[in-house]
Amino acid sequence: MNISFVLNGKRVGCDIVPDTSLFELLRSQGCMSVKCGCETSDCGLCTVWVDGVPTLSCSVIAARVDGHDVTTLEGLQRESHAFAVCMAEEGAEQCGFCSPGLIMTVLAFERELAGRVPTEDEVRRYLAGNLCRCTGYMSQMRAIRRYLGMPREAAAVLDASIEKEGVA
Amino acid sequence: MNGNRSHAVSADDARDVHCDAPGIPTCDIAPERTRDLKYLSQPVVKKDAYALLAGKPLYTADIAPADALVMKIVHSPHAHARIRSIDTSRALKVPGVVAVFTYHDVPQTRFSLAGQSNPVASPYDRLILDPVVRYVGDEVALVVAENDRAAERACRLVRVDYEVLPAVLDFTQAVDNPVVVHDEDGYTVNAGWINNERKRNICAQGGSAFGDLDDAFEQAEVVIDRTYHTKANAQAMMETFRSFAYTDAYGRIVCVSSTQVPFHIRRMISTALEIPPSQVRVVKPRIGGGFGAKQSGCLEVFAAFAASRLGRPVKIIYSREETFTASNSRHEMQMHVRLGARRDGTIVAIDLETLSNTGAYGEHGPTTVGLSGHKSLPLYNRALATRFGFTVVYTNTMPAGAYRGYGATQGLFALESAVNELADELGMDPCDLRLRNLVREGEVMPQFDGQTLNSCSLDRCIRRAQEMIGWHEKGLVREVGQGRVRALGVALAMQGSCILNVDIGSVDLRLEEGGFYVLSIGATDMGTGCDTILAQFAAEVLECPVERIVTRGVDTDVSPYDTGSYASSTTYITGAATIKAARALREKMALTAAGRWGVDASDVCFDGERLFVPAPNGGAPLHETDLAAFANACVAGGEGDALTAHAAQGAEASPPPFMAGIAEVEVDRATGEVRVVDYVGVVDCGTVANSNLARVQAEGGIAQGIGMALTEDVQYSPAGRMRTRSFMTYRLPTRLDVPSIRVDFVPSYETTGPFGAKSIGEVVINTPAPAIASAVAHACGHQVRELPITAEKVLHGE
């Protein structure tokens, strides 16, 4: 089937097998930043934007982006650099395999915040679907705090109880 | 000649933005030894950081040839079966299918997928494809096609007639079970010390004992006699197994793979394919995590075999489900501990018996189990007597392999839990009990190959951890309202820094035209940052910015031999080799300059930027050249040579790193829900090589340990089918599960290590399970002795 969509600002037309996933399509278009870690929508590695909304590309049929706007990290090289600096200076990328998905999610979150400084708990919840096996998340959180202008010394223990009360 | 340094260092800039854990000053007890370090102990940014963070195509699947054939595998649905026949005719008719390989097509030499040095301790117990399948997931047929869809369709059309055999699934019933997992011909044991009795399903057995155990237990006034059980765990690196292979211009096999052990993979492919090792080249690109999983081979032999038969590039990428069900995991272990102590808390006797499940094949079976004793018992080295015995059994479950901690994690869960139970029994503070019994510097550790402990700041690690968590202020348990209690638990850990008398690391270092260095290494950066850390070691000796050292990763054709990145060895072993090579290169540079200037080499100084001969009166140097001009002259004028140095480092010692971990948990008494609200870890890894990367290693290891303690559990159906096949059923900690991990360092100085460094990669995973179990015991009144600590076990016991 033929589909047409905008990929990183350029219109793309292609003939795909109907059950092609968006992940497969994007890799075949050379967007190698898009990784697959699980095939079951649990890990967040394959996150891209569809019309600006973070979307798990392994779980979306490619045909559904027909007529839509898709953005991958390849299309955000300039915009992502400032956050990349925060990550690199914490050593938070480690193996780097989950980094593109995390970056796509953090940048989408930033756009949603529209300049507002989020709480620690909001960040955790927004990123709960982005797994990382290397870092234990702490260095990523330090990088995100710095990038989003949050207090650096967010008292993590206190946050835990606040979060708990939020649940209770 | 060290007095004239004036470099602008990016690392220094990076330090300004480095933020420590809240309110935690860095504590350094060896400042006089490490104060002058300029490039080490700094938060140097990883060399590959910006490429990785830009999502560049650097991993195996990203760089596979576009025309590579795709391989998919037919896995066994039975835990134990003999294949009567395989009909591939329908599969071969699928358009796009190129080949289907079965056990009829493969060489008949058995090999092991364990990434280990020769002689490989793991038995040679597998074929590329075997007429007998030994677990659900074992490989039955290899399907190669032009694309994924054709390969997947063909897999479904391979017709296999199985004679289903009885299976042994419970590892406690494996010894002398009527079901024998390995009774085939061609099975080979390479190392006699494993005492293999495969007809009894015993892959390996042995032990070690020191002192008079019976007499020591006679002196004990309290004996803790308990059995602990750790489960198989998935390493769960984000990049699943993958590799591609092709034949090169000389007809050799080139295998590009996401592996920690390229040189061992070369031997595996050579053995399995029955071709000379000279015909194999293995290349490692960027790796998306390993944690030991990639210290075993997985699908490299399949890709290499198909590529050699078909003469076309073949790639294979495992799904997450295949990675869960058809690769390797942590060894499940059952450990019986008897711990004898006097009423004053003095530990006098320890007896540890470990039963380990290696699954269907013996990868790392004989060796992981050893660490359950040898890397736990020495913590309490002052006991009058210790005994350690072990048995490693085959079963019809997925083969185990290497996973960060490598047996020490399991042994320390058992021993540290027993020590915590002892403290509770005696009504003693568990930190005080440990401080009374700790191994100290200068002691000979019989259970640790008789090595002498050179460096240990474990007592200070404990005190620092207590201070960080507020141990004395909080008390072991306190009510926080709404039926919830918060409680503390502590555990200690140790590991090694290499495999004693086995590991080797070597590096080549070259001064290049233009005045920069190329550091060629055989150690494998799997995301840990060793390409950068080893450059920091070279920079420290060559007195230049880290950027001036180019690190060249692993290609077995060109990289100097290295056993690989495992056993926490890269910083300690390859780091030491790097220092040796850098010192040798400095000497060659001085010698070459001296020859040019007609002076004695000992008069030549090098400050990183220039070589010179100082004037005796402190005036203008008698001779002087900057590094670039010097390097250019080395290869100019139709003669000369680029200066090179090669150095190797063996494993004459394996100094243990140490760690103290304290967990603060919150337990809901109504539901049994356990949450880790805070975790502090204080590490003695010797000199910290890279302050950022060491911290991230510790935080990441603790998070994996928290997963092991609370949620991660490889489970099987009664028929032997793995139930935990995705991240929905095998639950990794998310950002919500680890709200706070705080890490600090109390470095001792290891005299045998490079600039005083030991290791950090593995020790950091070992404390969470016993610390959390103890905190939960303090909260709910009973000790959970089988991991993971689920709400059910907390509420109802086991």
pLDDT in tens, B657-701: 999 999 999 999 999 999 999 999 999 999 999 999 999 999 999
| SS3 at position B771 | helix
Contact present, B171 and B393 (Cβ < 8 Å): yes
Tokens, residue B246:
């092709």
Tell whether B58 is covered by a domain.
no
Question: Nearest-CA distance from B264 to chain A in Å?
Answer: 22
CA distance B639 to B636: 6
What is the tens place of the pLDDT at every residue in B347-375?
Answer: 999 999 999 999 999 999 999 999 999 99
Interface contact A95-B240, CB threshold 8 A: no
What is the tens place of the pLDDT at every residue in B515-535?
Answer: 999 999 999 999 999 999 999
| φ, ψ at B707 (rounded to 5°) | -60, -45
- Looking at residue A73, the DSSP 8-state letter turns out to be G
> Which CATH number is A20's domain given?
3.10.20.30
- Asked which of B277, B293, B325 is the last residue of a domain, the reply is B325
> Which CATH number is A109's domain given?
1.10.150.120
Entry pTM? 0.95
User: Which domain range does residue A96 map to?
Assistant: 78-163
Averaged pLDDT for residues B186-201: 97
pLDDT of residue B690: 97
- Whether residues A101 and A69 share a domain: the answer is no
Tokens, residue B386:
């210790």
- Whether residues A55 and A100 share a domain: the answer is no
On the question of pLDDT at B31 being above 80, the answer is: no
CA distance B245 to B63: 12
Residues in B 282-301 with any Cβ partner in A closer than 8 A: 286-289, 291
Instruction: Please report, rounded to a whole number, the percentage of residues in chain B having pLDDT higher than 70.
Output: 96
Tell whether A33 is covered by a domain.
yes
Q: Smallest Cα–Cα separation from A85: which of B710, B16, B698?
A: B16
**Of A73, A94, A100, Cβ closest to residue B527:** A94
**Of A100, A124, A142, Cβ closest to residue B19:** A142
What is the tens place of the pLDDT at every residue in B71-101?
Answer: 999 999 999 999 999 999 999 999 999 999 9
CA distance B490 to B471: 10
Q: Smallest Cα–Cα separation from B665: which of B492, B791, B526?
A: B791
- Of A88-97, B632-641, B715-724, minimum mean pLDDT range: B632-641
- Whether residues B529 and B511 share a domain: the answer is yes
Total structural domains within chain B: 5
All residues at 6 or more sequence positions from A43 whose CB lies less than 8 Å from its CB, including other chains? A37, A98, A101, A129, A130, A131, B238, B727
- Whether residues A132 and A145 share a domain: the answer is yes
CA distance B105 to B92: 15
Q: What is the CA radius of gyration of chain B?
A: 27
- Looking at residue B746, the DSSP 8-state letter turns out to be -
- Whether residues B174 and B134 share a domain: the answer is yes
- Asked which of B190, B225, B252 is the last residue of a domain, the reply is B190
Residues in B 546-585 with any Cβ partner in A closer than 8 A: none
Amino acid at B651: A
Contact present, A14 and A2 (Cβ < 8 Å): yes
Residues in B 690-719 with any Cβ partner in A closer than 8 A: 690, 692-693, 695-696, 699-704
pLDDT of residue B737: 94
Interface contact A92-B696, CB threshold 8 A: yes
Residue B698: in which H helix or E strand, if any? helix B691-710
What is the tens place of the pLDDT at every residue in B690-709?
Answer: 999 999 999 999 999 999 99
Give yes or no for B42 touching A (CB within 8 A): no
**Of A89, A130, A137, Cβ closest to residue B14:** A89
Q: Smallest Cα–Cα separation from B601: which of B617, B589, B585?
A: B589
Tokens, residue B552:
């060249």
pLDDT of residue B638: 77
pLDDT of residue B6: 35
Contacts of B428-435 spanning 24+ positions with Cβ under 8 A = B428/B345, B430/B489, B430/B490, B430/B774, B431/B462, B431/B466, B431/B471, B431/B490, B432/B345, B433/B345, B434/B462, B434/B490, B434/B492, B435/B459, B435/B462
pLDDT of residue B1: 36
* Residue B682 half-sphere exposure toward CB, CA atoms < 13 A: 27
Residue B62's closest chain A neighbor by CA? A32
- Whether residues B104 and B114 share a domain: the answer is yes
Q: What is the pLDDT along chain A (168 residues), one digit of tens a residue?
A: 999 999 999 999 999 999 999 999 999 999 999 999 999 999 999 999 999 999 999 999 999 999 999 999 999 999 999 999 999 999 999 999 999 999 999 999 999 999 999 999 999 999 999 999 999 999 999 999 999 999 976 554 444 443 444 333
CA distance B776 to B789: 9
| SS3 at position B62 | helix
Total structural domains within chain A: 2
| Strands lying side by side in the sheet with B222-230 | B202-210, B385-394, B347-359, B332-341, B222-230
- Whether residues A155 and A88 share a domain: the answer is yes
Tell whether B48 is covered by a domain.
no
- Whether residues B590 and B686 share a domain: the answer is no
- Looking at residue B737, the DSSP 8-state letter turns out to be T
What is the tens place of the pLDDT at every residue in B312-327?
Answer: 999 999 999 999 999 9
Interface contact A73-B55, CB threshold 8 A: yes
Tell whether B3 is covered by a domain.
no
Tell whether B40 is covered by a domain.
no
pLDDT of residue B78: 98
Contact present, B84 and B161 (Cβ < 8 Å): yes
- Whether residues A103 and A134 share a domain: the answer is yes
- Looking at residue B72, the DSSP 8-state letter turns out to be E
pLDDT of residue A122: 96
Residue B29 pLDDT level (bands cut at 50, 70, 90): low
Averaged pLDDT for residues B597-604: 97
pLDDT of residue B641: 86
Tell whether A156 is covered by a domain.
yes
> Which CATH number is B466's domain given?
3.30.365.10
- In this structure, the number of other CB atoms found within 10 A of the CB of residue B67 comes to 9
Contacts of A73 in chain B (CB under 8 A): 54-55
Averaged pLDDT for residues B484-502: 96
- Whether residues B169 and B210 share a domain: the answer is no
Question: Nearest-CA distance from B428 to chain A in Å?
Answer: 27
- Whether residues B73 and B159 share a domain: the answer is yes
A interface mutation test: which of B10, B44, B47, B52 has the most A CBs within 10 A?
B52
- Asked which of A40, A75, A110 is the last residue of a domain, the reply is A75
- Whether residues A82 and A71 share a domain: the answer is no
- Whether residues B507 and B412 share a domain: the answer is no
Contact present, B288 and A131 (Cβ < 8 Å): no
Amino acid at B140: V
- Asked which of A50, A75, A100 is the last residue of a domain, the reply is A75
Q: In chain B, how long is the greatest CA-to-CA distance? A: 91
pLDDT of residue B511: 97
Question: Nearest-CA distance from B70 to chain A in Å?
Answer: 14
CA distance B322 to A1: 30
Tell whether B59 is covered by a domain.
no
pLDDT of residue B640: 82
- Whether residues B403 and B342 share a domain: the answer is yes
State the pairing for strand pair B242-247/B253-257.
antiparallel
CA distance A77 to B305: 39
Tell whether B42 is covered by a domain.
no
- Whether residues A136 and A84 share a domain: the answer is yes
CA distance B539 to B689: 12
| SS3 at position B126 | strand
Size of interface A-B (CB pairs under 8 A): 211
- Whether residues A52 and A69 share a domain: the answer is yes
- Asked which of B589, B616, B649 is the last residue of a domain, the reply is B649
Contact present, B611 and B601 (Cβ < 8 Å): no
Contacts of B701 in chain A (CB under 8 A): 136
| φ, ψ at B91 (rounded to 5°) | -60, -40
- Whether residues B202 and B334 share a domain: the answer is yes
CA distance B248 to B555: 14
- Whether residues A54 and A9 share a domain: the answer is yes
Tell whether B45 is covered by a domain.
no
What is the tens place of the pLDDT at every residue in B229-254?
Answer: 999 999 999 999 999 999 999 999 99
User: Which domain range does residue B201 map to?
Assistant: 191-235+329-440
pLDDT of residue B28: 44
- Whether residues A83 and A65 share a domain: the answer is no
CA distance A20 to B198: 47
- Whether residues B644 and B659 share a domain: the answer is no
- Whether residues A66 and A103 share a domain: the answer is no
CA distance B7 to B28: 25
- Whether residues B775 and B790 share a domain: the answer is yes
CA distance B226 to B418: 7
Q: Smallest Cα–Cα separation from B476: which of B778, B238, B183?
A: B778
> Which CATH number is B85's domain given?
3.90.1170.50
pLDDT of residue B618: 86
Question: For all residues of chain B together, what is the average pLDDT?
Answer: 95
Tell whether B4 is covered by a domain.
no
pLDDT of residue B730: 98
State the pairing for strand pair B139-145/B97-101.
antiparallel
pLDDT of residue B92: 98
| SS3 at position B533 | helix
- Whether residues B507 and B631 share a domain: the answer is yes
| SS3 at position B579 | helix
From residue B639, alpha-carbon distances to B76, B515, B635 in Å are 63, 18, 6
pLDDT of residue B352: 98
Q: DSSP states of A102-160 as a string?
A: HHHHHHHHHHHHTTPPPPHHHHHHHTTT---SSSTTHHHHHHHHHHTT--TT--HHHHH
CA distance B292 to B312: 30
pLDDT of residue B35: 83
Amino acid at B267: R
- Asked which of A75, A105, A138 is the last residue of a domain, the reply is A75
Whether complex ipTM tops 0.90: yes
Question: Nearest-CA distance from A97 to chain B in Å?
Answer: 5
- Whether residues A107 and A133 share a domain: the answer is yes
Q: Smallest Cα–Cα separation from B496: which of B324, B376, B397?
A: B376
Question: Nearest-CA distance from A114 to chain B in Å?
Answer: 23
Tokens, residue B616:
């005796």
On the question of pLDDT at B499 being above 50, the answer is: yes
CA distance B490 to B465: 9
Tell whether A168 is covered by a domain.
no
CA distance B260 to A149: 38
On the question of pLDDT at B731 being above 90, the answer is: yes
